[in-house]
Amino acid sequence: MLKIVEKFKYAIAISLVVILIGVVALAINGGFALDVEFAGGMTMYVDMGTEVDLEELGAFVEANTPINVNPVVQRSDGTQVIIKTLPIDTEARDTLQNALFEKYELNEEAILQVDNVSATVGDELKQQALLATLVATILMLIYIAIRFEFRTGLAAVICLIHDVLIMLTVYAVLQIPVNTNFIAAVLTIVGYSINNTIVVFDRIRENYAKNKRADYADIVNTSIKQTLGRSINTTVTTLLPVVMLFIFGVLSIRQFTIPLMAGLIAGTYSSVLLAGPLWAFMKEAQAKRKQKKLRYNK
């Protein structure tokens, strides 16, 4: 029989080490790499007419923009590129456009789109992202508490927080820009992880109902063994299209799929190795408190 519960301390230690790496990366890098949507700034979409060297273009853009606007150049699709900077005024933006026209022999039609996001809008987006995640988590806790029991819901929410922290570690270590894709990635992983976790808890409930005198660890180990194949198959089939998007997608899609893949793996990891053992730990603690209370009353 699988001894998942007995190995719980090793599983949680691995998770803590990974999360600690993310904390260290945040300290070293001075926080997350906030994209224009969150930090505020300008995004310019340009059709260069031909493929250009991004490093050369990046150096050119930096030379033709004000100091400390942190320009970033990304390839969008084919000959199109995206130029992002911190907030700049209209004069600085026109200077950059004219420099591009002269250097790369472009016309005004090459500027496909220019978006400006204020820092206030970025703050609102951050608040909305946090609120969306918080509301989704609370609603899931309520649903699981009603469908199963409060301890089951609490264990599931702890696992959700674990999965989101692993995703944040990927963003911190790789300095992937935090933008609107981040919100989609977090909510996707929250939904996927809770689905896997509920499958495990449903089997735990069935096995516990059959034999309430059985040891909690044995119930969890048996339940995980019975659902392990399903969990692995679901993860593999979900990862395949995400991997294809990473291989064939443009840069913005790749930046979305990397944390998504990490979150999917973390979700399976927590559903199999953390959720059940957490439930067993809380149930055993509850049983010990009841026994202690009975002895005290006697």
Task: Give the domain CATH number at 194.
Answer: 1.20.1640.10
Same domain membership, residue 171 and residue 214: yes
CB–CB of 206/214 below 8 Å?
no
How many domains does one find in the chain? Answer: 2
Nearest one of 270, 271, 255 to 16, comparing CA atoms:
270
Same domain membership, residue 273 and residue 126: yes
Question: Last residue of some domain: 117, 151, 173?
Answer: 117
CB–CB of 227/203 below 8 Å?
yes
In the block, residue with structure tokens 């469908």: 147
Same domain membership, residue 58 and residue 28: no
Q: Which residues, in sequence order, are CB contacts of 76 under 8 Å at separation 6+?
A: 45, 82, 250, 251, 252
CB hemisphere CA count around 63 (13 angstroms): 9
Same domain membership, residue 188 and residue 259: yes
Same domain membership, residue 78 and residue 22: no
In angstroms, rounded to a whole number, what is the distance separating the alpha carbons of residues 159 and 11?
Answer: 12
Same domain membership, residue 228 and residue 90: no
Question: Last residue of some domain: 70, 89, 117?
Answer: 117
CB–CB of 99/83 below 8 Å?
no
Question: Last residue of some domain: 117, 141, 167?
Answer: 117
Would you state the pLDDT for residue 58?
A: 87
In angstroms, rounded to a whole number, what is the distance separating the alpha carbons of residues 234 and 200?
Answer: 13
Same domain membership, residue 252 and residue 195: yes
Same domain membership, residue 86 and residue 20: no
Assess if residue 297 is contained within a domain.
no
Residue 59 is part of a domain; what is its CATH number? 3.30.70.3400
Per-residue pLDDT of the chain (298 residues; tens, 9 = 90+): 578 888 999 999 999 999 999 999 999 988 888 777 777 788 899 998 888 888 888 899 989 998 888 888 888 777 888 888 888 888 889 999 999 998 888 888 889 888 887 766 667 777 877 788 788 878 877 888 788 888 888 898 899 899 999 999 999 999 888 877 888 888 888 888 888 888 899 999 899 888 888 888 999 999 999 999 888 998 999 999 999 989 988 777 888 899 999 999 999 999 999 999 999 998 888 878 877 776 666 5
Same domain membership, residue 88 and residue 72: yes
Q: Which residues, in sequence order, are CB contacts of 153 under 8 Å at separation 6+?
A: 140, 141, 142, 143, 144, 145
The whole domain housing 222 covers 5-33+121-291
